[in-house]
Amino acid sequence: MSKLLICGNRRLEGRVPIYGAKNSALPILASTILCSEECVIHNCPILSDVYVSLKILEYLGAKVKREGHDVIINANSIDRYDIPEFLMRQMRSSIIFLGAIVSRMNRAKVSFPGGCELGPRPIDLHLKALKQMGVTVKEQHGCIECHVEKSLKSGEISLSFPSVGATENIILASVFAKGKTKIINAAREPEITDLINFLNKCGAKIFTNKEGFVIIEGVSRLTGTEHRIIPDRIAATTYMAAAAVTGGDVLLEGICSRHLSAIFPIFEEMKIKTCVVKKQLRLWVEDRPRCVKLVRTMPYPGFPTDAQAVIMALSAFCQGTSVFVENIFESRYKHVDELVRLGANIKVEGKTAIVRGTNNLQGTTVKSYDLRGAAAMVVAGLGAQGETCLLDLRHLDRGYENIEENLKAIGALVKRIE
């Protein structure tokens, strides 16, 4: 099992590259199934989840070539409609392939992604929408089989919650459905917009409006295109928190400041300085950061649940008491016990976590239970006195490309042990 040794309390200073967003790359890779010509995806992060997506595409019959951050996919030759369980299990978000496969092949067979480290992770909204589009869905023995007679039906689909994955699946399923499909209460995350932009470049007709509707006018085919994945706003937030916790001064390169609009007010309240010039963000610290009164996770454009853990790790070092309310996932405080092991003062009651800042965190051995929890451990380890050992880097490697090299380049003392 790999682990990361972090020698904390060293000021971070220098430049950090921000790569393409994992949560944008995964649905865009899945959507290439719908294209009858070659697609070239630039700025595709080198991560284990992306590797699994490419394996799924190859298994289905697509031709896949990877050259660094560029991926070339030709899905014209796809002839399978199933995803084997071992690939489904490696990545929970593999469920986003479902809509694309049904749309292309009129049938699909995948295993159930099941519960996960963030608590139960149902896919009822995905399946309900597919059924509404005329898909027969059979769920048995952990397997989902979908079948549609002729083609998928358009119509109005109303989501009870703006689920990111369900919105993506409906968009992918409806691209070829005759007529107009309207998604009411669709998710509006930047990664959804990136998927829509990619599909429209391939000839899809997808529109969004201010009320949160996504309207898809069915087309008969999609061509190929070249597309650049948007920067990873959560990786950017993680490096911002890492620099701030060490009293550092860093320049993040390749960010999109618009996507960080819910993050900046938090840093401002913490009295951490930021300045954006084009795609570069400078962050520096003049005094010990202050607490933040209330962080409530919300669907975009609200504060992202994926940034909750890393901001909580930072707040553990701040002056004063910060309050977090997690509204998106049921069980997204697993990092709290590990932060407490490092000396943080955090109490959880239901959806609320109260963090009393201290500057007395001491390195020790910690675990991670999910991707962003692992990132929170890295942030806390960088700020703590002495050595922190983060066990099991599988989660971290799902979402952070080159993290130890990037941290070393700005002065961190970190070492991966395989």
What would the two tokens of residue 249 be?
A: 């001064």
- At 320 the three-state DSSP class reads coil
Q: Would residue 116 show up in a list of annotated catalytic residues for this protein?
A: yes
Strand blocks (E) in 185-248: 205-208, 214-217, 226-228
| Identity of the residue, 5 or 116, whose beta carbon is nearer to ligand UD1 in the bound complex | 116
| Identity of the residue, 187 or 270, whose beta carbon is nearer to ligand UD1 in the bound complex | 187
**Nearest to 26, CA basis, from 38, 41, 15, 37:** 41
Which residues of the shown chain bind ligand UD1 in the complex (CB under 6 A)?
23, 26, 93, 121-126, 161, 163-166, 187, 191, 305-306, 328-329
Kindly state the smallest distance separating residue 329's Cβ from ligand UD1, in Å: 5
**Nearest to 143, CA basis, from 105, 114, 107, 103:** 114
| Identity of the residue, 191 or 404, whose beta carbon is nearer to ligand UD1 in the bound complex | 191
Cβ pair 30, 172 in contact under 8 A? yes
Q: Catalytic pick from 7, 116, 291, 389?
A: 116
- At 309 the three-state DSSP class reads helix
Q: Residue 42 CB: number of other CB atoms within 10 A?
A: 13
Kindly state the smallest distance separating residue 222's Cβ from ligand UD1, in Å: 21
Amino acid letter, residue 416:
R
Amino acid letter, residue 250:
V
Kindly state the smallest distance separating residue 337's Cβ from ligand UD1, in Å: 20
Cα–Cα distance, 219 to 175 (Å, whole number) = 6
Kindly state the smallest distance separating residue 187's Cβ from ligand UD1, in Å: 6
| Identity of the residue, 93 or 225, whose beta carbon is nearer to ligand UD1 in the bound complex | 93
**Nearest to 54, CA basis, from 195, 67, 113, 397:** 67
| Identity of the residue, 351 or 356, whose beta carbon is nearer to ligand UD1 in the bound complex | 351
Kindly state the smallest distance separating residue 287's Cβ from ligand UD1, in Å: 32
List CB contacts of 331: < 8 A, sequence separation 6 or more: 117, 118, 119
Catalytic residues: 116
